[in-house]
Every structure is written in C-alpha cells, then in structure tokens.
Amino acid sequence: MTTTISSVASPPLSAASIEAARRIIAAHSVLDGAALPILHALQEAFGYVPRECDPLIAAALNISRAEVHGIISFYHDFRRAPAGRHVLKLCRAESCQSAGGTGLAERLLGRLGLEWGGTTRDGSLMTVEAVYCLGLCACSPSALLDGEPMARLDDSTLATVVQEARAA
C-alpha cells in the first residue's frame, strides 16, 4: 500500500482552546526565559504549537511574531500540526549518520512520501521527525518510536515498524 504525502493541517482552535492557551501563556510568562516553557506547555496541552498562539505569546513577552516563529522553527521539538498516531524520531547526529542513518532515513521518507516532520495521510499513521543524538551511538543508527528507543536499525526493521504501526 502506498502512503501519501505529509503535513496534516492544524485545525482551527475553538474559543475554549484559545482561552486555555491564554491561561497557559499567562501562567508561564512570569518565568525567566519564558518563551520555551510557554511553548513546551502549549505543545503538551495541544500536541503542537497552534499558530493562533503566536500573537498571544508575542504580546505576553513583548516580542514580535517573527521572533516567536523564529524560536519555534529553531527547536526541532516543536510541531506546528498534530502528530500522527505514532511518532518516529530518527537520529540525524554524526554517529548515526556515519552508520548509514542518512540513507536509511531518506529511503524511509521516500517510501512514505514524507519530508522531515511530515505525517502520513493514511489515518495520520506516523510522523517522522529528526532527533540529534539519543545517547545510543554505540548502537547506531538509532531512533525513538513513541518514546521507546530502537537501535541498529536497517531498512527491514523500519519497514516492519511501519507495517506494525499500520496494523495497530
């Protein structure tokens, strides 16, 4: 079965969700270096950082929307759309790259029709994200699947991961 393209659109936030976001931002904006705690809290609450929150964060921290966007873009942990049912984080750091991780990732993304950070459309099955060193360098290439470490990956292992995710 062919899996098609990526980027699940982020749904518009309800009035209640915007109010919840306002409360989260207000609760964290008093902290030193409040931007990251706010973004982490929003992602924890919504599963991603909704774009509607950008102007709220900017106003609370007295920075521009572009600065908010810049922070979100800089850190790989933040998503702009809901993730799929499963999140596969493939390591892109040096040890995993030199152990074949780059080609492995390219082939997987190609098979799924995704770019980094993308989510498959077949029921939002899987999101594939980059991560930079999981401390499993001795067992490269490595990844996290839904937070569980996986090591010594190859094409066959990843194909099985996708197949099992689809069946789950």
Q: How far is the CB of 115 from ligand FES (least distance, A)?
A: 20
Closer Cβ to ligand FES, 42 or 143, answer by number: 143
Cα 147 to Cα 103: distance, rounded to the nearest angstrom: 22
Cα 21 to Cα 27: distance, rounded to the nearest angstrom: 10
Amino acid at the residue 160: T
Total of chain residues touching ligand FES, rule CB under 6 A: 11
Closer Cβ to ligand FES, 81 or 136, answer by number: 136
Amino acid at the residue 68: V
Closer Cβ to ligand FES, 59 or 138, answer by number: 138
Interface residues for ligand FES in 87-106 (CB under 6 A)? 91, 93-96
Burial 32-71 (b: 16+ CB within 10 A, else e): eebbebbbbbbbeebebbbbebbebbbebbeeeeeebeeb
Rg of the chain, C-alpha, whole Å: 17
What DSSP string runs through 55-94? Answer: HHHHHHHT--HHHHHHHHHH-TT--SS---SEEEEEE-SH
Which stretch of DSSP H or E encloses residue 108? helix 102-112
Closer Cβ to ligand FES, 29 or 97, answer by number: 97
Number of H-type helices and E-type strands within the chain: 7, 4
Assigned token pair, 122: 């077949």
Closer Cβ to ligand FES, 13 or 87, answer by number: 87
Q: How far is the CB of 95 from ligand FES (least distance, A)?
A: 4
Interface residues for ligand FES in 14-73 (CB under 6 A)? none
Asked if 154 touches ligand FES (CB under 6 A), the answer is no
Interface residues for ligand FES in 113-142 (CB under 6 A)? 133-134, 136-137, 140, 142
Q: How far is the CB of 96 from ligand FES (least distance, A)?
A: 3
Q: How far is the CB of 82 from ligand FES (least distance, A)?
A: 26
User: Which residues bind to ligand FES, rule: CB under 6 A?
Assistant: 91, 93-96, 133-134, 136-137, 140, 142
